[in-house]
Amino acid sequence: MKKLLITRQLPQANLDAARARYDVTLREGSEGLTVAEAAAALADYDAILPTLGDQFSAEAFAGDIRCGVLANFGVGYNHIDVEAAKAAGVVVSNTPDVVTDATADIGMTLMLSACRRAGEGERMVRAGKWTGWEPTQMLGTHVTGKTVGIVGMGRIGQAVARRCHFGFGMPVLYFNRSAKEVDFPATQVAALHDLMARADIIVVTVPGGGANTALIDADGLAAMKPTGIFVNIARGDVVDEPALIEALGAGRIAGAGLDVFAKEPLVPDALRALENVVLLPHLGTAALEVRAAMGQMALDNIIAWDEGRPLPQAV
């Protein structure tokens, strides 16, 4: 029976399915594997089911390798050096598709919450500071009909855009590094900063790491309208976080909604102190049926590797 390491707690159905087929080690704790721990795991296990925070950098693949597959739990895999893995003979997969709608839903949650100042309002009520309804109290941004700018028109970007167009009558602009055709009304914008200047609400959905690191920089944020709302459901490293904090604190943009952060779970004190930002603890796929589907997809990739078949979701 092959040895499988699962680096984080998964839904019980996933653990039961894994244990029925493999000698499973379930790692305790919520912190990701360090580089040294990742290297040790690669030497000790036949298969690993990792996730965000596990540091499978190039250094982790420098020693002895027993592992043949990294079946990542999650669509984002910027914590895995895929080229180093391939050079070491380790195949890598992820879990696309099943995360699309759930992540897009969180994008809409953040958009609506930031625009309508829901976080501020809830804090007011919980603190016992609400004095009753007033005509000019907590005035926010009306969402319906506003122009949305999608940064990254992949599966999740398109899912957000569809919700915006069909649900809220929003004109859709998008930036994508390559030409991308979609089957609903939307306009591709060639330059990212042009998109950020033209849209009322920016939603970032690109993969993290690599060329996308600090893709949203100070100049891009400066191009936004003073009434602009910024939403990030991608990865924290896609944004120059200090520049975003400075723009929000100075009132150069109206607000933001963030589900991801540059150094999770660390959220800077300066960001937490701001009233005009909605902060969520990386809830993008946090629904039981979604997480169970992700776990099963990861396990299916491990089984495919075990049986000598191509990985269905190879990256």
Q: Name the residues annotated as catalytic.
A: 235, 264, 282
Q: For residues 99 and 164, give the distance between their C-alpha atoms in angstroms, rounded to a whole number.
A: 18
Q: Which two tokens stand for residue 160?
A: 């957000």
